[in-house]
Copies of this chain bind each other. A is one copy, B any other.
Amino acid sequence: MNAPVLANVKCSECPIRHRAVCSRCDTDELAVLEQIKIYRNFKAGDQVFWRGEPMDYVASIVSGVATLGKTLEDGRTQMVGLLLPSDFIGRPGRSKVEFDVTAVTDVTLCCFERQPFERLLVATPRIAQRLVEIALDELDAARDWMLLLGRKTAREKIATFIDMLVQRNSVDHGITPALALALPLTREEIANYLGLTLETVSRHLSALKSEGVLNFSDRRNFVVTDLEALRAISGDESDDCL
């Protein structure tokens, strides 16, 4: 919470201007947000929120990657969300977080104090509407993940995970799927996301590598060498076409 407060970028030049909670706002509405926003920076590994802690501000991720995690008494943890730029943290009407929010890489947040933000929600339907959309998107994602956690094998989980990274990368980089991925998560973090152990993750990644489905030397940088095979392995409906 003692994260350094950076000079704000102007909303009109903000990299997430057209995707975040403010995406539907007109110039006037943006001016209001501009006045109450504060940038905060976190370093890789910093805790952004602690579970059960009062949450006095809400935020959008401007850059970096953060995770939502839940932990059992004995230390078993499960990641319940992966936050990427333009994702939103916090919910109106709730003062407490139900999970830990952790910065995986260095992270910049665009923060609004909770109460002024809630007042703004009432006055600015466009923000409220966008927030509903965001919540419903998260809900869909959570449910897909439930299917993965409950019913997929380790191999399928890992293939699905990589495929998901490819897909979201495509959104950023245009139509052609960018098959080179920079993956900021450790094996253990991947395991916590997939409901596996780090050893199992390592084993199956090695297997996929030796099968020629993907490649990596460095531990951060992956290249998908056979996207079709990857998708076949992931176990999702093959032709869920439109």
Minimal Cβ-Cβ distance residue in B for A153: B76
A119-152, CB under 8 A of B: which get 1 and which 0?
0001001001101110110111011111101111
Quick check: A93 and B133 within 8 Å, CB to CB? Answer: yes
Minimal Cβ-Cβ distance residue in B for A76: B151
A194 at the interface (CB under 8 A from B): yes
Once A125-B122, A139-B142, A151-B76 are accepted as A-B contacts, the answer to whether A132 and B131 lie under 8 Å apart by CB is yes
Quick check: A150 and B94 within 8 Å, CB to CB? Answer: no
Q: From residue 89 to 131 of chain A, which have CB atoms closer than 8 A to chain B?
A: 91-94, 98-99, 122, 125, 128-129, 131
A146: B residues at CB distance < 8 A: 70, 78, 80, 142, 145-146, 149
Quick check: A78 and B132 within 8 Å, CB to CB? Answer: no
A81: B residues at CB distance < 8 A: 143
Query: In whole angstroms, how far apart are the Cα atoms of A145 and B80 in the complex?
Result: 9
Query: In whole angstroms, how far apart are the Cα atoms of A81 and B146 in the complex?
Result: 10
Query: In whole angstroms, how far apart are the Cα atoms of A240 and B77 in the complex?
Result: 16
Query: In whole angstroms, how far apart are the Cα atoms of A140 and B98 in the complex?
Result: 8
| 13 further A-B pairs in the complex, CB-CB below 8 A; given A80-B143, A93-B136, A122-B125 | A70-B144, A72-B152, A72-B235, A73-B238, A93-B133, A98-B143, A125-B128, A128-B132, A135-B135, A135-B136, A146-B146, A149-B150, A150-B195
A: residues with CB less than 8 A from B are: 52, 68, 70, 72-74, 76-78, 80-81, 91-94, 98-99, 122, 125, 128-129, 131-133, 135-136, 138-140, 142-147, 149-152, 194-195, 235-238, 240
